[in-house]
Amino acid sequence: MAFLRWIQDLPISGAIAESDSIWWGYAWWLFVHAVGMGLTAGIGFVVCLRVLGIGRQIPLSSFRVLFRLFWLGFYLNLLSGVILFMTDATGIARVWELYAKLVCLALALGAMSRLRRFIDSTENDASVPPAIRNTAVACLVLWLAVITSGRLIAYAVEARGTVT
């Protein structure tokens, strides 16, 4: 708890939390987090849909380039997520939704990596083995869980209040 307190009391955390700037203040990082979400979960959705057979005329191998954007979104969100966390570390660390989100996120990244390995190894785009299809379904569900738990963090923090 002392550590969380220390993070939250860093001058930069307070400056961001209280800044009205729409360029580097709290609102800006919320926006960056939303775009990063669109990149990661959005590309995740499209890759999973394609693996499940939607848009099967697209060779899976041509989706490789999308993973660069996917990881760009991931790092944007790692950065913006850490910054948002710093502004209210003691409050956010107390809600279980945060840990649910992190677990689902780790699993979703694992599923995405498995899909990526399949895309890299495949010569024949026509047939997707059942195990990979199941991974895609799990991956879709996990992204939904990440978005839902992430969204609920804000309400949970608000409802339980911050430690003063």
Partner 1 sequence: MLTPTDLVHIHLLLNHFPTVGMVVGFGLFLLALLKKSDDLKRGGLAVFFAIALISLPTYMSGYSAQKSLRGVRTVSQDLVDLHQRSALFALIFMEALGIVSWYGLWSSRRRARVRPAITAAVVLLSAVTIGLMGNAADIGGEIRHPEILSQSQAPISTEGVAAPRWLSSEFITRYQYNHPWAWKTLETIHFIGLCLLFGVVLVTNLRLLGWMRDAPLEGFHRLLPWGVWGFVANSVTGMLFFIGQAFQYIENPAFHLKMLCILLAGGDVLYLTWHEEIWEMERGAAAPTLVKVLAASQIVLWIGVIYFGRMLPYIGNAF
Residue 149: CB atoms within 10 Å: 21
Shorter beta-carbon distance to partner 1: residue 49 or 78: 49
Rounded to a whole number of angstroms, the minimum distance from the CB of residue 27 to partner 1 is: 4
CB 67 within 8 A of CB 120: no
Catalog residues that contact partner 1 under the rule CB under 8 A.
20, 22, 25, 27, 30-31, 34-35, 37-39, 41-46, 49-50, 54-59, 61-63, 65-66, 69, 143-144, 147-148, 150-152, 155
Rounded to a whole number of angstroms, the minimum distance from the CB of residue 34 to partner 1 is: 5
Shorter beta-carbon distance to partner 1: residue 5 or 59: 59
Shorter beta-carbon distance to partner 1: residue 7 or 149: 149
Rounded to a whole number of angstroms, the minimum distance from the CB of residue 7 to partner 1 is: 23
* The token pair that represents 133 in the structure block: 């299809």
Rounded to a whole number of angstroms, the minimum distance from the CB of residue 9 to partner 1 is: 24
Shorter beta-carbon distance to partner 1: residue 27 or 163: 27
Rounded to a whole number of angstroms, the minimum distance from the CB of residue 110 to partner 1 is: 19
d(CA 101, CA 25): 24
User: What is the DSSP track for the chain?
Assistant: -HHHHHHHHSHHHHHHHH---TTTSHHHHHHHHHHHHHHHHHHHHHHHHHHTTTTTTS-GGGGGGHHHHHHHHHHHHHHHHHHHHHHTHHHHTT-HHHHHHHHHHHHHHHHHHHHHHHHHH-S-SS---HHHHHHHHHHHHHHHHHHHHHHHHHHHHHHH----
Shorter beta-carbon distance to partner 1: residue 7 or 66: 66
